[in-house]
Amino acid sequence: MGSFWVGMKALFQMLDVDVVVPPPITKRTMSLGSTHGPESACLPLKINLGNFIEAIELGADTVIMAGGHGPCRFGYFAQVHREILQNIGYDVEVLVVEQPRTGRQEFFRSIKSLFPNKNWYQVIQAIHFGWQKVLIIDQLEALILKNRAYEINKGDHSLFWKRAIRKIDRISTKAELEIGSKQLIAELNEIPKDYSRDVLHVAAVGEIYLMIESAANLNVDEKLGNLGVSVVRTEYVSDYIREKVFKTKNIPDLHAYAKPYMKNEIGGHGFHTIANTVKYANKGFDGAVQILPFTCIPEIVSMSILNKVSERENIPVLTLIFDEHSGEAGVDTRLEAFVDLVRRKKKHQQLELVGLKGV
Amino acid sequence: MIRVGIPKAFLYHKYFPMWDTFFGKLGAEVIVSPESNKVIVKQGIMNTIDEACLPLKAYMGHIIELANMDVDYIFIPRFISVEKHRYFCPKFLGLPDLIKNTCLNIKLPEILEPIINIRTNKKEFYIEVLKLASKFNKSPMSIYRAVNAAIKVHQQYERCIHSGLTYKEALKLYESTKNNFVENTNNRLDFKKQANVDSKNINIAVIGHSYILYDQQISMNLISKLEEMDCDVKTAEMLSDDLIEIATKRIPKDMFWTLNRELMGAAFHHLDHMDIDGIVMISAFACGPDAISKELIERIYKKDSNIPMLSLTIDEHTGEAGFVTRLEAFIDMIKRNRKGGQKHESNISAYGQFLGRNESVVSNARR
């Protein structure tokens, strides 16, 4: 799931577990997942299944999966994975870290119960360390998405991102992490940029897995950046964990934004999609890109509402649906066309402002 | 008289008597949209986004149909949860929002959208009911009476269903005895269907949502087609809650969708008791919860039994002929198996007296 693995790896290594990180997502991962997975399930389930199979081939004997309590299907993935993996002959244990139903203690207890011979101090330390890594990665990524459109030497940010992930992954103590993250942020700010460029601002909304996993969304963020678009991604793993696991984040502002269109949460990130689109339209963004896996029900509901949002809030919305067959050229074309249209619209608005409508 | 429109789709079969009694006692006239037909479904398809499932598109068609029927209100409840810690599918959670924001060129009457959510507590639910009822009748006493009557009717209706009636039969019973449904059916319930006694028929469990199975247009009359082929059809709602509760123990985690939990429970109940000859699963293309439950049912059935299984997926393009062919082939296979025929398809002779599908089987099917 994006670069989230770095945090999880840190957590489990602190608890003296041998961690097998699945190899990067490739065509093989996707085809393994879609061969064995249910055909009409969404892409995250298939990719995760492919990841697990590849990790098992590398010698993993236990796989860890997050859970939940609906109404999104995600909460049941682990059960399906277990059934499929056993059925196709892999003798592995599937451990599930459930999303807490009552409070955050439940989450800590469920992690602790996986490690009966560790004491509470060690467990909390490990969770904290993993969490810190997740935070710094998300912080860096947000900066990169925002600044990529301004870079003078094309590809600087992408190179930096790969290096940063490797560096953070290698860090094994808290003190090092603190120094390292400061260095990385300084380094990022030093990348030469040209702020005089005419850059569009677009919010990426939609389903979290597809947004953060660049292999699944065919690098939409990078493509947008290279087209001169500064992207604000609305979902990060750290936000998700804050809201749903630690329960320290409240979203009253989102409820206020979504109220005219949607009155309650519908599971997954459907509600966030609507609310964030309205929010960034109000902030004066030039457009929004909705990213979702094929057959994602919450996003389908919000997709049909987005039409009206787009019309009323005056924000262009592009919807990109991904499944295992997505061809890259099609995505490129649609993104380019979208950016061109948005740019044209912006230009016209500017001309109207100075009273040169007919030009 | 205020006219309230109720679309004949989605949860209609499950809750209609309750809604009807409730609105009737409050002094409103209940208008139900006609059975799904080609026109309605087509209207829905034209007005919904492509990615939605077929039942949702049909629902939209019913709404448009109702909008043309001169009603004052359309009843689109927002079903979030009817049980503790369990949900409905996300499309039910956002149904009123979805309808309102998709029908941009059609003028809809006012929409009644009570939030039905007892996931955590019941208080809000009662407030919602009060808010809804006060649109029709301000007197607390009559609201109380209407709610009470509705609950009683619903309980009786559920009893009818669990005693072996299908939704269609139970609804017919309700229509015929409308005002004193509870009193009239009490003594008639003893006639439990004696279908299972006749062992010549084959037992087929049909696993699918009630809004697919009982909609003739969407399911292409699956149930009556099976019955014509001498099958006793067993659907999920015929099992009581206790039986489903026991059967779902097979899966380690509580299923958090109310409707799919029932379906899975029913499938596993039949697996535990081995009282069926075959299982037919029908689901709409791109149905989210079904993708998960279907996979689990399939895998577990294959692991623990050799009950034949047919899985059908429907969308707006399904041709009826292909549907019937698959169904017939499936039933023929079961019948041949029952006669002690060859276990392996490849061992069947292609001609002559050893032809697997011989005359007796064919004539059996026709009889």
Shortest alpha-carbon distance between residue A155 and chain B (Å): 36
Q: B152, B187, B212: which is the final residue of a domain?
A: B152
- Looking at residue B103, its pLDDT comes to 76
- The closest of B114, B159, B119, B124 to B22, measured between CA atoms, is B114
For residue B165, being part of any structural domain is answered with no
Cis before A71? omega within 30:
yes
List residues bridging with A258 in a β-sheet: none
The reply to whether A49 touches chain B by the CB within 8 Å rule is no
User: Cβ separation of A308 and B299 shorter than 8 Å?
Assistant: no
Same domain for B227 and B310: yes
For residue B136, being part of any structural domain is answered with yes
For residue B301, being part of any structural domain is answered with yes
Residue B164 has pLDDT above 70, yes or no: yes
Structure tokens at B270: 């039949």
- Looking at residue A143, its pLDDT comes to 93
- Looking at residue B138, its pLDDT comes to 77
- Looking at residue A101, its pLDDT comes to 73
User: How does residue B30 score in pLDDT terms, banded at 50, 70 and 90?
Assistant: very high
The closest CB to that of B256, out of A75, A268, A301, belongs to A75
| Ranges in chain A, pLDDT < 50 | 359
A 280-299 → B contacts, CB under 8 A: 294-298
pTM of the predicted structure, to 2 decimals: 0.88
CATH number for the domain spanning B285: value is 3.40.50.11900
A-B CB pairs within 8 A amount to 129
Decide: A171 and A9 in contact? Cβ < 8 Å.
no
| DSSP conformation class of B36 | P
For residue B90, being part of any structural domain is answered with yes
Same domain for B283 and B141: no
Structure tokens at B179: 């005002």
- Looking at residue B352, its pLDDT comes to 58
- Looking at residue B102, its pLDDT comes to 85
The better pLDDT of the pair B304, A248 is held by B304
Alpha helices, DSSP H only, in chain A? Answer: 4-14, 27-36, 43-57, 77-87, 104-114, 120-147, 156-170, 174-190, 208-212, 220-226, 237-244, 252-258, 270-282, 297-313, 328-353
- Sheet of strand B110-112: strand arrangement: B29-32, B3-6, B73-75, B110-112
C-alpha to C-alpha distance for B290 and B169, rounded to whole angstroms:
26
Decide: A322 and A217 in contact? Cβ < 8 Å.
yes
Average pLDDT of the segment spanning B89-108? 86
Decide: A92 and A81 in contact? Cβ < 8 Å.
no
Which residues of chain A are within 8 Å of residue B256 when distances are taken between CB atoms?
A: 69-71, 75-76
Q: Are strands B73-75 and B110-112 parallel, antiparallel or unpaired?
A: parallel
The rounded radius of gyration (Å) of the Cα atoms in chain A is: 21
Q: Are strands B78-81 and B29-32 parallel, antiparallel or unpaired?
A: unpaired
The closest CB to that of A41, out of B96, B104, B291, belongs to B291
Same domain for B87 and B30: yes
Q: How far apart are the first and last CA of chain A?
A: 48
Same domain for B285 and B139: no
Which residues of chain B are within 8 Å of residue A75 when distances are taken between CB atoms?
A: 256
Judged by phi (left if over 0) then psi (alpha if -120 to 50, else beta), residue A338 lies in: alpha
Same domain for B209 and B148: no
Same domain for B354 and B211: yes
Q: B133, B152, B171: which is the final residue of a domain?
A: B152
Judged by phi (left if over 0) then psi (alpha if -120 to 50, else beta), residue B231 lies in: beta
Shortest alpha-carbon distance between residue B289 and chain A (Å): 7
Residue B333: which domain range?
A: 200-366
- Looking at residue B230, its pLDDT comes to 86
Decide: B87 and B94 in contact? Cβ < 8 Å.
no
C-alpha to C-alpha distance for B160 and A209, rounded to whole angstroms:
45
For residue B284, being part of any structural domain is answered with yes
Which residues of chain B are within 8 Å of residue A266 when distances are taken between CB atoms?
A: 90-91, 93-94
User: Cβ separation of B86 and A70 shorter than 8 Å?
Assistant: yes
| DSSP conformation class of B312 | E
| DSSP conformation class of A16 | T
Portion of chain B with pLDDT greater than 70, in percent: 87
Residue B239 has pLDDT above 80, yes or no: yes
- The closest of A100, A345, A321 to A217, measured between CA atoms, is A321
Same domain for B207 and B122: no
C-alpha to C-alpha distance for A143 and A236, rounded to whole angstroms:
13
User: Cβ separation of B88 and A71 shorter than 8 Å?
Assistant: yes
Distances (CA, A) of A282 to A203, A315, A344, A347, B83: 12, 9, 20, 19, 38
Structure tokens at B146: 């209407």
CATH number for the domain spanning B109: value is 3.40.50
- Sheet of strand A317-322: strand arrangement: A229-233, A200-206, A287-293, A317-322
- Looking at residue B346, its pLDDT comes to 60
Please report the ipTM that was assigned to this predicted complex: 0.86
Question: What is the number of domains present in chain B?
Answer: 2
Same domain for B348 and B219: yes
For residue B189, being part of any structural domain is answered with no
For residue B251, being part of any structural domain is answered with yes
- Looking at residue B198, its pLDDT comes to 54
Decide: B80 and B115 in contact? Cβ < 8 Å.
yes
Same domain for B343 and B204: yes
C-alpha to C-alpha distance for A230 and A198, rounded to whole angstroms:
10
DSSP assignments along B218-259, one per residue:
HHTTHHHHHHHTTEEEEEGGGS-HHHHHHHGGGSSS---BHH
Residue B3 has pLDDT above 50, yes or no: yes
For residue B173, being part of any structural domain is answered with no
User: How does residue B199 score in pLDDT terms, banded at 50, 70 and 90?
Assistant: low
User: Cβ separation of B51 and A264 shorter than 8 Å?
Assistant: no
Average pLDDT of the segment spanning B242-257? 88
SS3 A294: coil
User: Residue B40: which H helix or E strand, with range?
Assistant: helix B38-47
User: Cβ separation of A80 and B285 shorter than 8 Å?
Assistant: no
Q: In a mutagenesis test of the A interface, which of B97, B119, B315 is the best target, namely the one with the most A β-carbons within 10 Å?
A: B97
- Looking at residue A189, its pLDDT comes to 92
Distances (CA, A) of A321 to A220, B42, B297, B339: 12, 24, 28, 49
Residue B351 has pLDDT above 70, yes or no: no
Average pLDDT of the segment spanning B64-75? 91
User: How does residue B270 score in pLDDT terms, banded at 50, 70 and 90?
Assistant: very high
Distances (CA, A) of B245 to B19, B204, B255: 26, 21, 11
Q: B131, B152, B173: which is the final residue of a domain?
A: B152
Residue A46 sits at the vertex; the CA angle it makes with A43 and A48, to the nearest 5 degrees, is 105
- Looking at residue A240, its pLDDT comes to 86
Residue B188 has pLDDT above 80, yes or no: no
- Looking at residue B355, its pLDDT comes to 55
C-alpha to C-alpha distance for A34 and A49, rounded to whole angstroms:
8
Same domain for B142 and B28: yes
Same domain for B234 and B99: no
Shortest alpha-carbon distance between residue A133 and chain B (Å): 31
